[in-house]
Amino acid sequence: MKFQFDNTMGIFFRNVLEGLLILLAVVFFTTVILLVSGAPPFAAYYHIFKGSLGSWIKLAQVIQVWIPLTLCSAGLLYTFRIGLWNIGVEGQIMLGAVFTTAVLRVDAAKGMPMLFIGLAFIAGIAGGAIWALAAGYLKTKGGVHEIFTGLGLNFVGQGIILWLIFGPWKRPGIASMSGTELFPQQLWLPLLPALRLPPVGLALALAALVLTAVLLRYTHLGLNLKAIGNNRDAAYLFGLKPDRDMIIAMIFAGGFAGLAGSLQVAGVYHRLVPAISSNYGYLALLIVMLSNYNVWITPAVAFFFACLNVGNIQLPMMLELDSSLSGVIQGSLVLAALAVYSWRSRRKAPGGTVAA
């Protein structure tokens, strides 16, 4: 977060130039991939664009994807700042979704929808935080690297969801991949009538961004996270508590991810589905890296990624291509950006190195 106004024009032009360079490299790479697979590149780009920004309805879909991506990215800023690789964010979304579903399935929920939706959000935050705490404590107390615990817990989370959908929460009659039974309409998150967007979700995502920006920039917590992330041993000698702050960072990351899971259940699917996390956690990791760990760039990158994800849905329908092209574009964007960033500066990237 560097808001300096000296030499702004120079920095601005350099950033634009670098951005163009990154985009050019990615477009070149993606075009090659499309040609290799025998698809017409321009048609593919056109469908992605038209499928994401071509109409108000599509734009609303993009924002619907943007909300969980932004929430997860905001949470990841805490863990990246302290040097943790919270790969478990994917599972944290899942557990948030599971806890939310559990609350909304209560019979009494129909009678007091507002109360139970509120409770469901709190449960979702708790669910994500619990999953994050598991990875956090295994890291601080058990000495197991958070990448492996996080990843393992993601698989476990997916297992729990499948088990619930096919076991205890199965639809009356037949259990299927389409998920649990739909909640009664009262328990659906209210939508903006024209755009089919939940204002609550939008507000929560924006609030999470502002909260994160303030906490990281203006509080002791933010300073401590940064100090520990830069040099844990020095921070410890300085009287900071790396273990405690790592747990706090994990709680924030897990809480935000859990909230994203809540919104997916209460606002988008209105039930628990197997792919409830939709890879948004992994995408959020890429988003934060591509934003160079900057709070204010994150939402813009998240928006672009959301466009790709939504626009991509056109590819199987229009061109009979697999919809994983967005992942290729997103990954190559991050790689190109990393190359350009490293060219620009020798600054040490957060996340640093890992001693497995």
Partner 1 sequence: MSELELTLVFAGVVAGAAPIVLAVLGETITEKAGVINLSLDGTILLSAMVAFAVALETNNLLMGFVFAAVVGAVVAAIVAFFSIYLNQSQVAVGFVLTLMTRDLAYFLGNSYSHLQGPQVVPFPVPLLKNIPVFGPVFFSQNLPVYFSLAMIAWCWWYMYRTPLGLQLRCVGEHPRASYARGIDPRKLQMVYSICGGLLVGLAGATFSLSVKPGWGRPQGAEGTGWIALVLVIFGGWNPIKAATGAYLFSFLQVMGIYCQEWLPTVPAQVFQVAPFPLMIFTLLVMSLAQKESVLNWAENKDRMKSILAFLSGSVPTALGKPYRPD
Asked whether the beta carbons of 101 and 169 are under 8 A apart, the reply is yes
b/e burial code for range 154-188 (CB count within 10 A of at least 16 → b): bebbbebbeebbeeebeeeeeeeeebbeebeeebb
Distance CA(347)–CA(356), nearest Å, equals: 23
**Does 28 engage in binding with partner 1 (CB under 8 A)?**
no
Per-residue binding string, partner 1, 241-280, x by CB under 8 A, is ----------------------------------------
Contacts of 314 by beta carbon, 8 Å cutoff, 6+ apart: 47, 48, 50, 51
Q: Shortest Cβ distance from residue 288 to partner 1 (Å)?
A: 10
Stretch of 11-19, 63-71, 125-133, 338-346 lying at the interface with partner 1 (CB under 8 A): 338-346
Applying CB under 8 A, which of residues 143, 173, 193, 239 lies at the interface with partner 1? 143
Round to whole Å and give the CA distance between 290 and 250.
21
Task: Annotate each residue in 148-167 with x if it binds partner 1 (CB under 8 A) or - if it does not, as one string.
Answer: xx-xxx-xx-xxx-xx--xx
The distance of closest approach from Cβ of residue 108 to partner 1 in the complex, given in angstroms and rounded to an integer, is: 28
Longest dimension (CA), the chain: 67
Binding test (CB under 8 A) with partner 1, winner from 119, 130, 144, 206:
144
Cα 15 to Cα 11: distance, rounded to the nearest angstrom? 6
Footprint on residues 70-129 left by partner 1 (CB under 8 A): 85, 87
**Which positions lie near partner 1, rule CB under 8 A?**
33, 36-38, 85, 87, 138, 142-145, 147-149, 151-153, 155-156, 158-160, 162-163, 166-167, 282, 285-286, 289, 321-322, 324-328, 330-332, 334-335, 338-339, 341-343, 346, 349, 351-356
